[in-house]
């Protein structure tokens, strides 16, 4: 049961919890296709506090809230809030906690969502805390892969790109390992996955994890690509160098499986040839759309609809 609980990390969820959300997301997905209203959270208020830029996560949460009948209060920017005057984050959180039924937060500091959950009485959902965790993106990704491939167990999933700083990849490795997928980590030198994350996935779930730096996708059922997290580099020039040299070209797709699905949390920058958008392998815009039914399911489960 997720009713009234925080969602700070994918580690907060048992396999049964995730399976419940995926089933509920499928129901929401189907219901959206009918065009009928799904106002199961009328009179509920969702607060969206985004202290970092966001397009898909913020808009999909707000769309999801409206689709289930909830109202939204939104912190548009630090500049337009009392934080600009020196108010502490703790006081801002306490204030919003008194106005809403659930808080969705994104913050640049790792651990900010856990901090918010400790302060707030209302449930807190982590929409990304620095390079740490992004659990709702992982739930969206697991749902997307299941919908496209019919299963997770035994699939060959390649995680490609900046595996050191990309919070999406940490959470996703954990989720894939839980469901028995085979994972190959493909990262440029210096941007490999944290060894502790890999060790946990292996020890807790018996995960099959391979690592290499060559851009070879021939064995992949799913290639999940992320951008180089330039904003998290100490040296922006080093980030630009990696951006230019580590990318998926059309040549990299020669010999891939006919039903390969390329996913991406977006935004795309320089990590893929724009021509890939026109191929049958590109499934990331469909993936982004599925963020709405998945986040509808999350809101409904946590607020007990």
Q: Mark whether 157 and 46 lie in a shared domain.
A: no
Examine the residue annotation and report whether 85 is marked as an active-site residue of this protein: yes
- Residues 72, 146, single domain; the answer is no
Would residue 212 show up in a list of annotated catalytic residues for this protein? no
- Give the pLDDT confidence score for residue 170 in this predicted structure: 87
For the question of residue 254 being annotated catalytic, the response is: no
Residues lower than pLDDT 50 in the chain? none
Compute the distance between CA of residue 188 and CA of residue 229 in angstroms, rounded to an integer.
12
Statement to judge: residues 58 and 192 lie in one domain: no
In a domain, 182, yes or no: yes
Query: What is the SS3 string spanning the chain?
Result: CCCCCCECCHHHCCHHHHHHHHHHHHHHHHHHHHCCCCCCCCCCEEEEEECCCCCHHHHHHHHHHHHCCCEEEEECCHHHCHHHHCCCHHHHHHHHHCCCCEEEEEECCCCHHHHHHHHCCCCEEEEEECCCCCHHHHHHHHHHHHHHHCCCCCCEEEEECCCCCCHHHHHHHHHHHHCCCEEEEECCCCCCCCHHHHHHHHHHHCCEEEEECCCCCCCCCEEEECCCCHHHCCCHHHHHHHHHHCCECHHHHCCCCCCCEEECCCCCCCCECHHHHHCCCECHHHHHHCHHHHHHHHHHHHCCC
Assess if residue 5 is contained within a domain: no
In angstroms, rounded to a whole number, what is the distance separating the alpha carbons of residues 163 and 191? 6
Residue 264 designated active-site: no
Give yes or no: residues 274 and 296 share one domain.
no
Catalytic residue among 58, 134, 164, 283: 134
Q: Say which of 11, 56, 208, 230 is annotated catalytic.
A: 56
**Cα–Cα distance between 284 and 288 in angstroms, integer?**
6
For residue 92, what are the domain limits? 10-134+291-302
Residue 268 appears among annotated catalytic residues: no
Catalytic residue, chosen from 24, 48, 57, 92, is 57
Q: Is 143 in the same domain as 184?
A: yes
Q: From the candidates 24, 58, 67, 106, give the one annotated as an active-site residue.
A: 106
State the total domains in the chain. Answer: 2
Q: Are residues 139 and 264 in the same domain?
A: yes
Distance CA 256, CA 228 (A): 23
Domain-located, residue 2: no
Q: Which domain CATH number covers 193?
A: 3.40.50.1370
At residue 242, the pLDDT reads: 64
8 Å CB contact between 15 and 178: yes
Residue 1 covered by a domain: no
Beta bridge partner(s), residue 212:
186
The rounded radius of gyration (Å) of the Cα atoms in the chain is 19
Same domain, 191 and 270: yes
Q: Which of 34, 43, 76, 85 is catalytic?
A: 85
């Amino acid at each position: 049961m997720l009713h009234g609980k925080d969602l700070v990390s994918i580690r907060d969820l048992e396999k049964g919890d995730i399976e419940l959300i995926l089933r509920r997301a499928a129901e929401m997905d189907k219901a959206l296709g009918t065009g009928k209203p799904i106002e199961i959270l009328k009179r509920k208020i969702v607060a969206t506090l985004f202290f970092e830029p966001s397009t898909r996560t913020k808009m999909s949460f707000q769309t999801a809230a409206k689709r289930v009948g909830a109202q939204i209060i939104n912190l548009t920017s630090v500049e337009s809030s009392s934080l600009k005057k020196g108010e502490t984050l703790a006081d801002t959180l306490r204030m919003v906690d008194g106005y809403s039924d659930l808080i969705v937060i994104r913050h640049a500091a790792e651990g900010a969502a856990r901090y918010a959950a400790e302060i707030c009485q209302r449930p807190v959902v982590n929409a990304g805390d620095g390079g740490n965790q992004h659990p709702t993106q992982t739930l969206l990704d697991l749902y997307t892969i299941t919908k496209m491939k019919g299963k997770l167990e035994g699939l060959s999933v390649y995680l490609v790109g900046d595996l050191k700083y990309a919070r999406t990849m940490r959470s996703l490795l954990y989720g894939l390992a839980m469901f028995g997928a085979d994972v190959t980590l493909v990262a440029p030198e210096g941007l490999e996955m944290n060894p502790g994350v890999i060790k946990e996935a292996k020890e807790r779930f018996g995960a099959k994890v391979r690592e290499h730096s060559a851009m070879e996708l021939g064995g992949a059922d799913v290639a999940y690509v992320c951008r180089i997290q330039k904003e998290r580099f100490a040296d922006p020039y080093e980030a630009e160098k990696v951006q230019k040299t580590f990318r998926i070209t059309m040549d990299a797709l020669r010999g891939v499986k006919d039903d390969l699905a390329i996913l991406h949390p977006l935004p795309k920058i320089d990590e893929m040839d724009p021509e890939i958008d026109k191929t049958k392998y590109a499934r990331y815009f469909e993936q982004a759309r599925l963020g709405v039914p998945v986040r509808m399911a999350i809101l409904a489960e946590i607020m007990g609809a």
